[in-house]
Amino acid sequence: MLRNFHGPLRHNPVNPRYFTDDTGEAVFLTGSHTWASMNDMWLDGEPRQDMDYPGFLQMMSDHGHNFMRFWQFNMQSRCAPWNEKDTLFDPQPFLRTGPGKANDGLLKYDLEKPNPFYYERLVQRLRMAADKGIYASVMLFEAWAVKWATPGQNAWTHYPFHPQNNVNGCNDDARMPDGRAWKMFSLDCPKILAAQKRYVREVVTRVNALENVLFEICNEIPFTPEAMSWQEEMCRYVRSVEKDLPNRHPVGITAEGGDQDNRDLFATSADWISPSNGEVFEYRYNPPAADGSKVVVNDTDHLWGHGCDTGWIWKSFLRGHNVLFMDPWEPIPGDLDWWQDGDVSRNQRYYHVWDDARRNMGYARRLSLMFDMNRCMPIQTACTSTYCLAWEGEQYLAYFPAGGFEGLDLRKAKGVYQVSWLDPATGITHPGKPLNGGTRQALCAPFPGPSVLLCYRNRKELPKRHAIYREKG
């Protein structure tokens, strides 16, 4: 076993809103993710940009995060639709042996020869995450750059599966009538599918020993029946590869974003999903209570892209969801004038909202370690705001976004309950007056603005190393 882990994550039969491990305890997942975690990304003609990956992991650890999407732009050497100038990506999973030159002027790929440097980096960086206690969902494929391709920035031109870019006779035409290569994410290109499966087998085999691994099939694949069938086939294939290996890891399917019908995600065989906005943008503004039919990771990437506020984190957490934030800690290279807040770019590490999001995900995780998440369920009738995660009669976590007086229903509770109030703006907890069970209670936090209520008969005590444990009294 790896330090910090107790076996790989798996289905939690007690509270299926969360995964569990060999301890049998529910594991609430939350954290940041950023684009250059695996592949270096830089603009053509500029110096190669090597991400400070150890620094990113330290930031996550400092904030108490335990989960990241491990991004991979691993099937294109250049071109991304967010820039007019070419964006370059390296390393790639196949060796470039030739003979002959690919469309980017470098040697053609041999799709049957894994690139040792790519896989060494993959395993090394996943182990580095494990050393910080961080689970990583390995993104097997990335489709956003293909979906939004422009005539001048068409990533398909530089994919190893393009007929001009490999020596293996992989010559399926993956293009749709508009020139975008969406058919690459379908079962209609048998040679591409075979190459994709060779790559997936290599990844799954190489990382199988790591207990902090999950899998995500593809980032923001176009929402078509053909693409959903392809993702289901990839889920099946990952499981078939792991069937003969020591470990099993959860496999996820994430939304294209925007208006995708979330019912189709819940109907898949995936172990976990990340939803789109929903019919009335509910996953962005008022997340529905998780029912345990899937482990739901509510991810800003598929809701805002660059967005979220601290209230969304608490609403998602207290409705039984896991929480992820797409973090510009390592900004995308280029001048992204469409990610602006007035004259201020959101594509930067120090945009004023991002640190609040990072901190509050950590606060939520620390509360999850104090409370019994196997027994805590989202109960919307337990408090006036409706944002409550409770083990009725024992433990209550409630979020009050408006401030002022709110109500908590303790009619099913007996005995005396301890109370603390967490200020999301500061991370400081304030003691409250004990409450008696058996009645409804009118409450008011001892500070203005949004608040998180901790009401419990007993809880786990954790080391008081972080701001959340500084108590005023």
State if pTM tops 0.75: yes
Instruction: Please give the single-letter amino acid code of residue 379.
Output: I
State how far the Cα of 141 lies from the Cα of 467, in Å rounded to an integer: 38
- The reply to whether 5 falls in a domain is no
Q: Which of 320, 351, 370 is the last residue of a domain?
A: 370
Q: Which of 370, 392, 408 is the last residue of a domain?
A: 370
Same domain, 459 and 358: no
Backbone phi and psi for residue 258, each to the nearest 5 degrees, phi listed first: 65, -120
- The reply to whether 312 falls in a domain is yes
Same domain, 81 and 146: yes
- The reply to whether 3 falls in a domain is no
State how far the Cα of 56 lies from the Cα of 37, in Å rounded to an integer: 9
State how far the Cα of 162 lies from the Cα of 76, in Å rounded to an integer: 10
Q: What is the mean pLDDT of the chain?
A: 94
Average pLDDT over residues 274-294: 96
- The reply to whether 97 falls in a domain is yes
We report the CATH number of the domain holding residue 178 as 3.20.20.80
Backbone phi and psi for residue 392, each to the nearest 5 degrees, phi listed first: -55, 135
Judged on CB neighbours under 10 Å (0-12, 13-18, 19+), 228 is: buried
Bond before 91 cis per omega within 30 degrees: yes
Same domain, 218 and 355: yes
Q: Who's near 408: CB < 8 A, 6+ residues apart? A: 382, 383, 384, 388, 396, 398, 435, 440, 441, 443, 453, 455
Q: Quick count: other Cβ atoms within 10 Å of Cβ 151?
A: 6
Q: What is the pLDDT of residues 213-244, one digit of tens each?
A: 999 999 999 889 999 999 999 999 999 999 99
The yes-or-no verdict on residue 470 having pLDDT over 90 is no
Same domain, 443 and 314: no
E strand map for 75-130: 87-90, 94-101, 107-114
Backbone phi and psi for residue 152, each to the nearest 5 degrees, phi listed first: -90, -15
Which one, of 22, 24, 29, 68, lies nearest residue 365 by Cα?
A: 29
Q: Which of 353, 370, 387 is the last residue of a domain?
A: 370
Same domain, 403 and 353: no
The confidence band for 3, taking pLDDT boundaries of 50, 70 and 90, is low
Same domain, 387 and 363: no
CA dihedral 297, 249, 222, 266 (to 10 degrees): -60
72: left (phi over 0), alpha (psi -120 to 50) or beta: beta
Collapse the DSSP code of 54 into the 3-class scheme (helix H, G, I; strand E, B; otherwise coil) and give the result: helix
What integer pLDDT is reported at residue 469 of this predicted model?
39
Length of the chain (residues): 473
User: Residue written as tokens 């005590």?
Assistant: 461
DSSP secondary structure letters along 186-254: SSS-HHHHHHHHHHHHHHHHHHTT-TTEEEEEEES----HHHHHHHHHHHHHHHHHHTTSS----EEEE
User: Residue written as tokens 């393009």?
Assistant: 162
Cα four-point dihedral sign 257, 296, 410, 434:
negative
Judged on CB neighbours under 10 Å (0-12, 13-18, 19+), 41 is: buried
The confidence band for 2, taking pLDDT boundaries of 50, 70 and 90, is low
For the chain, the distance separating the N- and C-terminal CA atoms, rounded to the nearest angstrom, is: 42
Same domain, 387 and 319: no
Same domain, 411 and 341: no
Collapse the DSSP code of 336 into the 3-class scheme (helix H, G, I; strand E, B; otherwise coil) and give the result: coil
Longest CA–CA separation in the chain, Å:
79
Name the residue range of residue 397's domain: 379-469
The confidence band for 432, taking pLDDT boundaries of 50, 70 and 90, is very high
Share of the chain above pLDDT 70, in %: 97
The yes-or-no verdict on residue 83 having pLDDT over 80 is yes
Average pLDDT over residues 127-155: 94
Q: What is the pLDDT of residues 89-136, one digit of tens each?
A: 999 999 999 999 999 999 999 999 999 999 999 999 999 999 999 999
- The reply to whether 242 falls in a domain is yes
State how far the Cα of 301 lies from the Cα of 308, in Å rounded to an integer: 10
The yes-or-no verdict on residue 468 having pLDDT over 50 is no
Same domain, 458 and 311: no
Q: Who's near 299: CB < 8 A, 6+ residues apart? A: 69, 254, 274, 323, 324, 325, 326
Average pLDDT over residues 397-401: 98
State how far the Cα of 381 lies from the Cα of 443, in Å rounded to an integer: 16
Same domain, 211 and 308: yes
Same domain, 262 and 401: no
What integer pLDDT is reported at residue 473 of this predicted model?
44
**Which element (helix H / strand E) includes 182?**
none
Q: What is the pLDDT of residues 301-331, one digit of tens each?
A: 999 988 899 999 999 999 999 999 999 999 9
> What is the total count of domains within the chain?
2
Same domain, 284 and 174: yes
User: Residue written as tokens 């049957």?
Assistant: 112
- The reply to whether 2 falls in a domain is no
Cα four-point dihedral sign 122, 123, 125, 129:
positive
